[in-house]
Amino acid sequence: MADNANVQYDESSIRSLDWKEHIRLRPGMYIGKLGDGASVDDGIYVLVKEIVDNSIDEHMMGNGKTIEIKISEHRVEVRDYGRGIPLGKVVDCVSKINTGGKYDSGAFQKSVGLNGVGTKAVNALSNYFKVQSFRDGKTKWAEFAQGELVKESVEEDTNQRNGTLTIFEPDNLIFKNFRYIPQYLNNMMWNYCYLNAGLTVNFNGQKYFSQNGLLDLLRSKTDVDAIRYPIIHIKGDDIEFAITHGNQYGEEYYSFVNGQYTTQGGTHLSAFREGVVRAVREHFNKEYAPEDVRSSIIAAVAIRVQEPVFESQTKTKLGSTNISPDPNSPTVRTFVNDFVKERLDNYLHMHPESRDALKKRIEQSERERKELAGIKKLANDRAKKANLHNRKLRDCRLHLADVKNELRLETTLFVTEGDSASGSITKSRDVQTQAVFSLRGKPLNCFGLNKKVVYENEEFNLLQHALDIENGIEGLRYNRIVIATDADVDGMHIRLLLMTFFLQFFPDLVRNGHLYILETPLFRVRNKKETIYCYSEEEKKQAVAKLGGKPEITRFKGLGEISPDEFGKFIGEDMRLEPIILQKEMSIQKLLTYYMGKNTPDRQRFIIDNLKIEKNVEELALVS
């Protein structure tokens, strides 16, 4: 053991990191968690947003109606047609902290980024980074590697239109085994267009354009047959909202500040939710319970404020209390609340059919809540008693709501079945951020049942309490809920039953990107010198070719067959997760009916085809 008393501590022990070193050493301070692209809030998407946000800010200031974006497996290119970076500051704007045009409030009144860090973080965290400005017939470019300037040009003549081109390749030493998921990028591009009506984004050869802003957004998120009344769409100065009610459980919101998608809401979303309740109560002159007014709501709200304050560098939650730095300006709460109350009330007076449909939906929610009240009390009492004795939940030490740094995004609950599987995960997990919930056998198929079953079924009741989602996902205790089942037919069935539970009763949890499937290796290929874990037949073939000879091949049929020592490799830094993503055109009701409803010929064919795949994999393993 080292003698700490004799460790030298003097001037030589103190060092200052330059900006590049600090960003690379503490990337979470600048872009949140790293990840591999499985989560929508992973760092590689934040890098894309930081660059595109700059182009959006130019558009907001009236410069450039088109942005061209190309994203391949590991390379991102963004070309806008704004004013272009002043040529003498091309290098400084991407490599000197606290350098940028957004400190001049006259140039960028209501931009997303204000701290002059975003582009520098992308530069420091990229293997290759290039910026090129085109301005008034002249151009200048610079290339970097991990933030270090490698090469820069002199000013040259050009016939290109004004604007900026940025190219970067994320550093694979920091973002290990990363990949961009097309659905996440697709949603990102649409959100930019919904929030900037009239903007054209050309992304990988596809045109993205919205004429009607948040109305188009909500139309893309709803099934016209499943909403209770036509979408209400209202715009004002620096505020816009769209709202309707559906038939689903939960509340569904899309909130934005200055074009930034605030996935965790903030002061503006809280004010909006409050404003809707206030408007409804005053319009109908009845003190409806807030949960009845907001049950099954589908809404989007966007505001623009001067110099927004976010709760983190990734800008996912607004913390601003006022709409501008002027201490005499109204608060965000007052600004949003008053606007929603006045304009929604006016709309309902002018549209009696929508008014009556809304009232009917609220009163239905009220009846359902009262019918459940007695059952919920009994279920909650059972859950409290069960928590004293059961070992279903092996909790972690940190929780989403309690942690303010980047670790909050790493909190995970593994939902698994059986003692052997839960035992392996429990022994190998990170007790700081990873928890385990163990099911007892296959969960109930809850398709077509109402929420009463969540309280009457012990497994479901304890699971919703472990997640703390009984009253919505605001209190969600883990950022990721990971279904971990065996890679066989029984495991797939359990996976499907759990997905049905979440989609039917807690769809907002899925929509907000919290549900995942754990990928574990199908094969272990090894010789005396090396062990390779393979997640597919193709990877196994490559491993056999690499190791040569006749390596030992093991086929993992269940999670319990993987030792805790090995399992630690699969749920640690290199954990592979497959996100459950709802496509914008996907109806949850139609999806569940197809997979969990009556045995239609289409579903029978789907099951048979997928069983063949599993059978073939097992046969190949036996042959090998």
3-state SS track over 177-220: CCCCCHHHHHHHHHHHHHHCCCCEEEECCEEEECCCCHHHHHHH
585: its two tokens? 């055109």
Average pLDDT (17-27) is 82
The confidence score (pLDDT) of residue 130 equals 96
- CATH T-level fold of 20-208: Heat Shock Protein 90 (3.30.565)
Q: Half-sphere exposure of 28 toward its Cβ, with a 13 Å CA cutoff?
A: 9
pLDDT tens-digit readout, 164-182: 999 999 999 999 889 999 9
| Residues ≥6 apart with Cβ < 8 Å to 606 | none
Residues of the chain with pLDDT > 70, as a percent, come to 85
Query: In 10 A of CB 579, how many CB atoms?
Result: 18
Residue 512's identity, in one-letter code, is: N
Q: Half-sphere exposure of 186 toward its Cβ, with a 13 Å CA cutoff?
A: 10
238: its two tokens? 């620096």
Q: What are phi and psi of 328, to 5 degrees?
A: -90, -5
State the Cα angle at 28 between 16 and 111, rounded to 5°. 100
pLDDT band at 614 (very low <50, low <70, confident <90, very high): very low
- CATH T-level fold of 404-520+556-623: Rossmann fold (3.40.50)
**In the predicted model, is pLDDT for residue 2 greater than 80?**
no
Average pLDDT (65-74) is 94
Residues of the chain with pLDDT > 90, as a percent, come to 44
Q: What are phi and psi of 80, to 5 degrees?
A: -110, 175
* Most confidently predicted of 427-436, 445-454, 552-561: 427-436
549: its two tokens? 């000879």
The segment(s) of the chain belonging to CATH 3.30.565.10 are 20-208
The mean predicted confidence, pLDDT, of the chain is: 84
In total, the chain counts a number of residues equal to 624
H or E, element range at 71: strand 66-71
The confidence score (pLDDT) of residue 1 equals 45
| pTM tops 0.85, yes or no | no
The segment(s) of the chain belonging to CATH 3.40.50.670 are 404-520+556-623
Residue 214's identity, in one-letter code, is: L
> What is the bridge-based pairing of β-strands 531-534 and 523-526?
antiparallel
State the Cα angle at 456 between 415 and 508, rounded to 5°. 50
C-alpha 63/C-alpha 83 separation (Å) is: 6
**In the predicted model, is pLDDT for residue 603 greater than 50?**
yes
**In the predicted model, is pLDDT for residue 3 greater than 60?**
no
The confidence score (pLDDT) of residue 4 equals 55
**In the predicted model, is pLDDT for residue 508 greater than 60?**
yes
**In the predicted model, is pLDDT for residue 10 greater than 70?**
no
Cα 556 to Cα 14, 495, 521, 559, distances in angstroms? 50, 18, 7, 7
The segment(s) of the chain belonging to CATH 3.30.230.10 are 214-370
Residue 89 region, left (φ>0) first, then alpha (ψ -120 to 50), else beta?
alpha
562: its two tokens? 């993987």
**In the predicted model, is pLDDT for residue 434 greater than 90?**
yes
State the Cα angle at 413 between 607 and 260, rounded to 5°. 95
pLDDT tens-digit readout, 533-545: 998 899 999 999 9
Quickly tell me which residue has 């279904």 as its tokens: 483
State the Cα angle at 202 between 196 and 208, rounded to 5°. 50
349 DSSP 8-state letter: H
The confidence score (pLDDT) of residue 223 equals 80
Residue 258's identity, in one-letter code, is: N
Query: In 10 A of CB 302, how many CB atoms?
Result: 28
The confidence score (pLDDT) of residue 23 equals 87
C-alpha 338/C-alpha 319 separation (Å) is: 19
Lowest average pLDDT, out of 10-14, 165-169, 222-226, goes to 10-14
**In the predicted model, is pLDDT for residue 585 greater than 60?**
no
C-alpha 518/C-alpha 417 separation (Å) is: 13
**In the predicted model, is pLDDT for residue 53 greater than 80?**
yes
Q: What are phi and psi of 456, to 5 degrees?
A: -80, -25
**In the predicted model, is pLDDT for residue 115 greater than 70?**
no
Average pLDDT (408-426) is 86
The confidence score (pLDDT) of residue 388 equals 53
Q: With contact defined as beta carbons under 8 Å apart, do 495 and 483 qualify?
A: yes
Average pLDDT (528-556) is 91
Helical axes 267-284 vs 332-350, angle rounded to 10°: 40
* Most confidently predicted of 113-122, 130-139, 188-197, 499-508: 130-139
The confidence score (pLDDT) of residue 389 equals 55
Instruction: Decide: helix, strand or coil at residue 293.
Output: helix
pLDDT tens-digit readout, 336-388: 999 999 999 999 999 999 999 999 999 999 999 998 888 888 888 877 776 65
In the CATH hierarchy, which top-level class contains the domain 214-370?
alpha beta
Instruction: Decide: helix, strand or coil at residue 223.
Output: coil
Lowest average pLDDT, out of 280-289, 301-310, 357-366, 518-527, goes to 301-310
C-alpha 121/C-alpha 285 separation (Å) is: 52
**In the predicted model, is pLDDT for residue 93 greater than 70?**
yes
Comparison of pLDDT for 71 and 512, the residue scoring more:
71
Q: Name which of 266, 245, 263 is nearest 254 in CA terms.
A: 263
63 burial type by CB count under 10 A (0-12 exposed, 13-18 middle, 19+ buried): middle
The confidence score (pLDDT) of residue 616 equals 39
pLDDT band at 114 (very low <50, low <70, confident <90, very high): very low
C-alpha 211/C-alpha 224 separation (Å) is: 19
pLDDT tens-digit readout, 73-85: 899 999 999 999 9
Instruction: Decide: helix, strand or coil at residue 443.
Output: coil
pLDDT band at 319 (very low <50, low <70, confident <90, very high): confident
